[in-house]
Amino acid sequence: MAYSPPTIGPDGPSIPSYPDVLAYLIAQFQTVYGTTVDLSTSSPDRQDLSIRALQFTAACQFLQLVGLSFNPQTAMGACLDLLGRLIGTPRKAASNSTARVVLTGSPGVVITAGQVLDVNGQYWNLDGSSVTIGISGSLSTGVTAQTIGTITANPGDISIIATPTAGWTGVTNPLAASPGQPVEADSTYRARLLISQTKPSISLRAGTAAAIAAVPGVTRSVVYENPQGYTCSFGFVDTRSAGNHIWQVTGYPLDATMAGKTIYLNGIPFTIASYVAPGELTTTEALTDEDNVPFYVGDGNDFGPEHSITCVVEGGAEAAIAQAIYDNRGIGCYVNGSTEVPDVDVVPAVPHSSAPTTIRYNVLGYVPIYVNLEVQPLKGWTTAVEDAIIAGIVSYLNSLGIGESVILSELYGAALAARPNPDQPLFSIRGITIGAGSPPTMGSEDLPVDYDVAPMGEADLVTVILTTGGSPV
């Protein structure tokens, strides 16, 4: 391609390539000094022209990055931070993991600048410059991970004294640590900026969703709306084949208005035959004996009690989330949820505009996911391939948003991604079944998930059972 100078067009900055710049400089050099001049790759003049072409190309690439930095979809690093501040949505700061530990030792022992270790070699600082073991010989105190980000510690993992002190004999954490947050990645921050631009929107629902997403510590959130007058319920139920009975375990109420409506059990529709008692229904179709079956009643898209919004949130402080909802919800709209935050502040500039009110929302729950994958190893099969298959499935589950169904065919794709070369298969997938709950009901259908819970791929929430068909063939 012939050389063309840097320009800014409809598609943004356009710059010449290094070969085009070098060819242009060579042509200009020959115009001045003639075509017989030695410009072989080892000649001094050719080397000089190559260096100049490289410098000019690098400058053009920098200018191209400057141009792209004006767009939130292409800006990176500090430039993306500046755009975020202009929009009013700064990048979320990183935080340290915290935990509660119990120190044991001689009563009255003072521990100064104490540090402890977990089984993974991570250091934790005791809160405060010094702590004193009580008369009972133990002390409950907080610790903070020295490393910023998501440092996990299961109960009992923090068990090593890193700064020995006379009379201090032991340490343990009875509960799991609260993981911190890493520095918000550009990709995550960029996606949140695009959401945040809807905050001053004409849609109160979009504005509420943007305000919640901007709360520090909130990692995922969604806002559902039920503008209609129907009754809607969701949660978990036990089902029994005798009399086709449903008993509610948890969730929003089942009542007499639901007779004749459709109830979805694990995503499968059943017709409600009758209302028996609070939280007890019967269906026209046959049921099986199952416990803790996720259900919902409604149209499957709009949820919550009539004329309400339902916010589902992961992470963040309750007070900040409630304030964000209060400041952006519609006038007179009922705010639905199981987590209640009373006496949310009214707007101080408008006295007596309304009384302090209770704001509700749902804290995100999780569905344990079970995947049973049957494979026949082929030539080249190793334990590394097995690990890659499991990692791919876990990564797919982690990518699902709130309330997204687990799609069976996507599991095939996630597993097949473990092949370095599709033309040389290392295994054959003979079958996949998936299930949820405890114990799970395994099946070969897509797995719907309640809108207020999310399938996750953490080790304690997913079980991938890989069954191999014998030796590689």
Q: What is the pLDDT of residues 7-19, one digit of tens each?
A: 887 777 788 889 9
Nearest-angstrom CA–CA distance, 428 and 377: 7
Burial class (CB in 10 A: 0-12, 13-18, 19+), 408: middle
**pLDDT tens digit sequence for 349-361:** 445 445 668 899 9
Beta strands 7-9; 12-14: pairing state: antiparallel
The pair of three-digit structure tokens given for residue 282, joined into one six-digit string: 């019967």
Per residue in 82-98, pLDDT tens?
A: 888 777 788 887 888 99
What's the pLDDT score for residue 284? 92
Q: Where are the alpha helices (DSSP H) in 304-456?
A: 318-328, 383-399, 408-416
Residue 431 makes CB contacts below 8 A (sequence gap 6+) with 372, 373, 374, 444
**How buried is 242 (Cβ within 10 angstroms: 0-12 exposed, 13-18 middle, 19+ buried)?**
exposed
pLDDT tens for 103-159 read 999 999 999 999 999 999 999 999 988 999 989 899 999 999 999 888 888 899 999
* Better pLDDT: 440 or 99: 99
Distance, in Å, from the CA atom of 371 to the CA atom of 374, rounded to the nearest integer, reads: 10
In the beta sheet, which residues pair with residue 8? 13
Question: Quick one: pLDDT at residue 250?
Answer: 65
- Residues 281 and 294: their CA atoms lie apart, in Å, by 15
pLDDT at 45 over 70: yes
pLDDT attached to residue 346: 58
Q: Which residues contact 191 (CB under 8 A, 6 or more apart)?
A: none
In 3D space, the residue among 214, 227, 118, 241 whose CA is nearest the CA of residue 173 turns out to be 118
pLDDT confidence bin for 232, thresholds 50/70/90:
low
* pLDDT, position 112: 92
Confidence check: pLDDT of 300 > 50: no
Cα–Cα distance for residue pair 43/297, rounded to 1 Å: 80
Q: Tell me, what's the pLDDT at 54? A: 92
Per-residue confidence (pLDDT) for residue 421, from 0 to 100? 83
**Are 298 and 308 in contact, with CB atoms under 8 Å apart?**
no
pLDDT digits (tens, 9 = 90+) for 195-220: 776 666 667 888 888 889 889 888 88
* Length of the chain in terms of residues written: 473
Tell me the two tokens of residue 361: 């929302």
DSSP per position, 93-149: PP-EEEEEEEEEESTT-EEES-EEEETTS-EEEESSSEEE--TTSEEEEEEEEEEES
DSSP category for residue 447: B
pLDDT band, residue 457 (cuts 50/70/90): low
Distance separating alpha carbons of residues 30 and 24, to the nearest angstrom: 10
What is the per-residue pLDDT for 199?
A: 61
For residue 301, the model assigns a pLDDT of 44
- The DSSP bridge partners found for residue 453 are 365
* Extended beta strands in 279-368, E state: 280-283, 290-297, 308-315, 334-336, 339-344, 357-363, 365-367
Please tell me the predicted confidence (pLDDT) of residue 349.
46
pTM beyond 0.75: no
For position 350, what pLDDT does the model report?
47
Report whether pLDDT(345) > 80: no
Tokens of 186: 């550009």
pLDDT band at 442 (very low <50, low <70, confident <90, very high): confident
pLDDT at 451: 62
Question: What are all long-range contacts of 27-36, with beta carbons under 8 Å and residues at least 24 apart?
Answer: none
The percent of residues in the chain predicted with pLDDT above 70, rounded, is 85
**Per-residue pLDDT at 194:** 74
For 249-284, write each residue's pLDDT tens digit.
Answer: 766 667 677 788 888 888 788 999 998 887 788 999
The H or E element containing residue 204 is: helix 204-213
Print burial letters for 303-317: b (CB count within 10 Å at least 16), e (below 16).
bbbeebbbbbbbbbe
* Tens-digit pLDDT profile for residues 144-176: 999 988 888 889 999 999 999 999 999 999 988
Q: Strand pairing partners for 100?
A: 142
Please state the domain extents for the chain.
7-68, 96-172, 198-227+304-363, 233-297, 366-468
State the pLDDT at residue 56. 92
d(CA 222, CA 210): 9
User: Which pLDDT score is estimated for 464?
Assistant: 65
Whether the per-residue pLDDT at 390 is higher than 90: the answer is: no
Assess whether pLDDT exceeds 50 at residue 459.
no
